[in-house]
Amino acid sequence: MPPLTVLILGGTTEGRALAAALTGCTVISSLAGRTTSPLLPRGEVRIGGFGGVEGLAWFVAERGVDIVVDATHPFAERISANAAAAAAIARVPLLQFRRPGWVEQAGDDWRRVPDLARAAALLPRLGERVFLTTGRQGIAEFAEVDECWFLARSVEPPAPPMPKRLDVLLYRGPFTVGGELRLIRDHRIDVLVSKDSGGADAKLVAARELGIPVVLVDRPAPPPATATAGTVQEAVTWLESRP
């Protein structure tokens, strides 16, 4: 039997880990092309959009893809919806990989909100100096919050519209608790804003330690899938048990 051909829609740490772990499969990883020097997964990598649902379904059929894995970021809503629709058109299974969201612990002061707009509306009541870790594309939602000063961290520089009072730190993780504590203290941060991305949580540990509030944006509901996995090992086990 020829090895399975697996298309991993990635752009995440776990997408790269899965590509490295699936040694018994032919793996094609796909990245959106948002960053100028992305961290590349092992094996074949293609970069750039497919041209919507039809383009993705065509790619799956053309390349003989047996299984699509949606290992994109939990807030990458459009590509996840496209993956579900394209897998249905191409009649291949879809494995949806989602790392677990964060869970509030003793000492946390979290305000959960359904979207970035609600996070922006809440901020003036929580403090003046805001550490914004929602990614470059989310910064525009805070453009009208004139009451606050923002420290935003992203891999690539943001584009307008942007808040009037904004400093940008261009960094790619991983981040340490010690580094996050220093950053929050040095910039006299009052409140942290984050999406509930899950995974490494150094900034949340630092916020807990310093007793500052966190505005956490809830994940959008994921589209239907053939199966779901929350860890790379679960995903590997499911994929390797396919006939």
Rule CB under 6 A: which residues touch ligand NAP? 9-12, 30-32, 34, 49-52, 55-56, 72-73, 75-79, 82, 135, 195
Q: Which residue lies nearer to ligand NAP by CB, 77 or 218?
A: 77
Distance of CA 106 to the CA centre of its chain: 25
Nearer to ligand NAP, 48 or 243 (CB): 48
Closest distance to ligand NAP from the beta carbon of 106 (Å): 28
Closer to ligand NAP by Cβ: residue 125 or 171: 171
Closest distance of CB 78 from ligand NAP, Å: 3
Provide the b/e sequence for 178-203 (b: ≥16 CB within 10 Å): eebbebbeeeebbbbbbbbbbeebbb
In angstroms, give the least distance from the CB of 207 to ligand NAP. Answer: 19
Q: What are phi and psi of 88, to 5 degrees?
A: -65, -45
**Are the C-beta atoms of residues 200 and 101 closer than 8 Å to each other?**
no
Question: CA–CA distance from 51 to each of 6, 36, 105, 136, 141 (Å)?
Answer: 20, 20, 42, 23, 26
| Cβ distance to ligand NAP smaller for residue 4 or 32 | 32
How near is the Cβ of 100 to ligand NAP at its closest, in Å? 16
